[in-house]
């Protein structure tokens, strides 16, 4: 479950953040638009006719197109009060609210526009605002409506991601599958499909989808990171993963995670084949990973495990201590450090590490249980709600 939650978060990370979304919307909205004059000319026109729609609209639009959203808002608001049914002005006002982080106002403004003009882009914007304001169920319905009205790649990805984020795994898999069939060249939809399949326990199918995503754009790091997470916790080596991790490490030699995940894929195969040469390669890759990124706690942990398997407890203790230093909540490192202290006869330190391990595990278990309750509530309400009618 921890891995599937991590994959869900990685999928969400493929969505642009609020600023990037706003920039994308703004780019589409301002394409080909030019101000209706200079700032001074527009200010003079407004001073002459402060109650005129065009005077407020044009100066507000000038600031909007210049990226000065806080200056634009009062002018666009004034224009809206004069002429509330002007779509362009209302939409610019909503995007300005969004660009300045006023999500509640942005949502209210989009809802007002939707009362007169029903567009897929508005439902997509509303879905994102609902999610940011904590109304996840409503967000799902808005993303669904956007995708049904306009089945583009963005809308399908956002709909599937919202479902996956709240562990509605079966619906998410269906949405990503449909989205992938409509948009076979989308790396992130394939990655999202892999994440949802993994969450459903279909590990090999999940890996095959994400491997395919990595082939679509080999330089993109995201699919490899998904595969690395999957390979770490899957019960057996996953098909195609070692080959993709090899490519990841070759394309991105300065990426610590590329070296780490390549090492982990080799390690899983080495344990099955009992090949000492592979074990040496794994150690070299892990050392390279921590050299690139000394704060990569998992790599220090794996080095400690390698040293422990050789009964080199002095080096193992050092590696575990480093793992804990950079990642204090890494519960396995505390446990294994306790075992290493036990092996070397330091019972007091061993008991302290075992106690810390139990405390970290208890905290993590409470967090997981809370998330499970939230997920269950979400799924129950989602099931009870009728589907959005297709227009």
Cβ proximity of 144 and 179 under 8 Å? no
| Contacts with 338 (C-beta within 8 Å, 6 or more apart), sequence order | 349, 350, 351, 352, 353, 354, 357
Q: What is the DSSP string of 112-140?
A: HHHTT---HHHHHHHHHHHHHTT-HHHHH
Q: How far apart are CA 250 and CA 248, in angstroms?
A: 5
pLDDT of residue 380: 44
DSSP 185: T
Cβ proximity of 106 and 98 under 8 Å? yes
pLDDT of residue 134: 87
pLDDT of residue 26: 56
If one compares 353 and 273, the residue with the highest pLDDT of the two is 353
Residue 265: name the closest of 290, 287, 248, 251 by CA: 248
pLDDT in tens, 367-376: 766 666 555 5
Q: How far apart are CA 9 and CA 104, in angstroms?
A: 24
| Contacts with 127 (C-beta within 8 Å, 6 or more apart), sequence order | 138, 139, 140, 141, 142, 143, 146, 158, 159, 162
Q: How far apart are CA 111 and CA 130, in angstroms?
A: 11
Mean pLDDT of the chain: 88
Q: How far apart are CA 390 and CA 120, in angstroms?
A: 12
pLDDT of residue 279: 81
Q: What is the DSSP string of 326-348?
A: H-TT-HHHHHHHHHHHHHTT-HH
Cα→Cα distances 58→30, 98, 194, 311, Å: 13, 20, 48, 75
| C-alpha angle 24-26-32 in degrees, rounded to nearest 5 | 110
pLDDT in tens, 26-41: 556 666 678 888 999 9
Report the range of poorest mean pLDDT among 136-140, 344-348, 377-381. Answer: 377-381
Give the model's confidence band at 235: pLDDT under 50 very low, under 70 low, under 90 confident, else very high.
Answer: confident
Question: What is the distance of C-alpha 225 from the center of its chain?
Answer: 12
DSSP 235: S
Total residues found in the chain within this entry:
391
Give the model's confidence band at 210: pLDDT under 50 very low, under 70 low, under 90 confident, else very high.
Answer: very high
Residue 155: name the closest of 186, 134, 109 by CA: 186
Report the range of poorest mean pLDDT among 126-135, 359-368, 373-382. Answer: 373-382
If one compares 320 and 66, the residue with the highest pLDDT of the two is 320
Residue 121: name the closest of 89, 146, 148, 99 by CA: 146
If one compares 363 and 96, the residue with the highest pLDDT of the two is 96
pTM score of the predicted model: 0.81
Cβ proximity of 196 and 176 under 8 Å? yes
pLDDT in tens, 155-173: 999 999 989 988 889 999 9
Secondary-structure percent of the chain, ordered helix, strand, coil, rounded to 5: 80, 0, 20
Q: How far apart are CA 299 and CA 312, in angstroms?
A: 17
Q: How far apart are CA 58 and CA 256, in angstroms?
A: 51
Cβ proximity of 198 and 7 under 8 Å? yes
Cβ proximity of 167 and 199 under 8 Å? yes
Count Cβ atoms below 10 Å from residue 235 Cβ, excluding itself. Answer: 6
**Is the confidence at residue 60, as pLDDT, over 80?**
yes
- The mean per-residue pLDDT over the stretch 216-235 comes to 92
pLDDT of residue 368: 67
pLDDT in tens, 299-339: 999 999 999 999 999 999 999 999 999 999 999 999 999 99
Cα→Cα distances 163→192, 222, 378, 384, Å: 11, 20, 10, 15
Burial of residue 51, with CB atoms counted within 10 A of its CB: 0-12 exposed, 13-18 middle, 19 or more buried: exposed
């Amino acid at each position: 479950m921890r891995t599937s939650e991590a994959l869900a978060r990685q999928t969400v990370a493929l969505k642009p953040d609020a600023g990037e979304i706003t920039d994308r919307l703004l780019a589409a909205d301002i394409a080909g638009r030019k101000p209706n004059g200079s700032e001074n000319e527009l200010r003079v026109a407004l001073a002459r006719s402060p109650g005129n729609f065009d005077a407020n609209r044009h100066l507000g639009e000038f600031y909007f197109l210049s990226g000065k959203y806080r200056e634009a808002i009062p002018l666009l608001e004034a224009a809206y009060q004069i002429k509330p049914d002007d779509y362009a002005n209302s939409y610019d006002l909503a995007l300005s609210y969004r660009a300045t982080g006023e999500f509640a106002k942005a949502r209210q403004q989009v809802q007002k526009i939707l009362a007169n003009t029903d567009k897929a882009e508005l439902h997509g914007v509303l879905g994102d605002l609902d999610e940011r304001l904590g109304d996840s169920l409503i967000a799902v319905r808005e993303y669904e409506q956007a995708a049904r009205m306009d089945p583009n790649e963005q809308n399908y990805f956002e709909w599937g991601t919202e479902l996956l984020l709240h562990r509605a795994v079966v619906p998410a898999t269906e949405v990503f599958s449909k989205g992938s069939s409509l948009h076979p060249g989308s790396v992130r939809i394939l990655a999202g499909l892999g994440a949802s399949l993994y969450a459903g326990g279909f590990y090999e199918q999940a890996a095959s989808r994400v491997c395919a995503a990595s082939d679509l754009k080999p330089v993109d790091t995201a699919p490899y990171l998904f595969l690395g997470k999957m390979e770490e916790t899957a019960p057996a080596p996953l098909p195609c993963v070692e080959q993709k991790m090899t490519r990841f490490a070759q394309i991105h030699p300065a990426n610590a995670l590329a070296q780490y995940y390549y090492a982990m894929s080799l390690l899983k195969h080495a344990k099955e084949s009992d090949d000492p040469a592979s074990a040496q390669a794994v150690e070299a890759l892990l050392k390279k990973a921590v050299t690139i990124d000394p704060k990569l706690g998992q790599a220090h942990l794996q080095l400690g495990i390698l040293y422990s398997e050789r009964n080199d407890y002095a080096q193992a203790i050092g590696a575990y201590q480093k793992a804990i230093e950079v990642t204090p909540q890494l519960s396995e490192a505390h446990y294994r450090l306790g075992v290493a202290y036990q092996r070397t006869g330091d019972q007091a330190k061993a008991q302290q590490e075992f106690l810390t391990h139990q405390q970290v595990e208890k905290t993590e278990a409470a967090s997981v249980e809370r998330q499970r309750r939230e997920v269950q509530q979400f799924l129950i309400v989602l099931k009870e709600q009728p589907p959005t009618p297709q227009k």
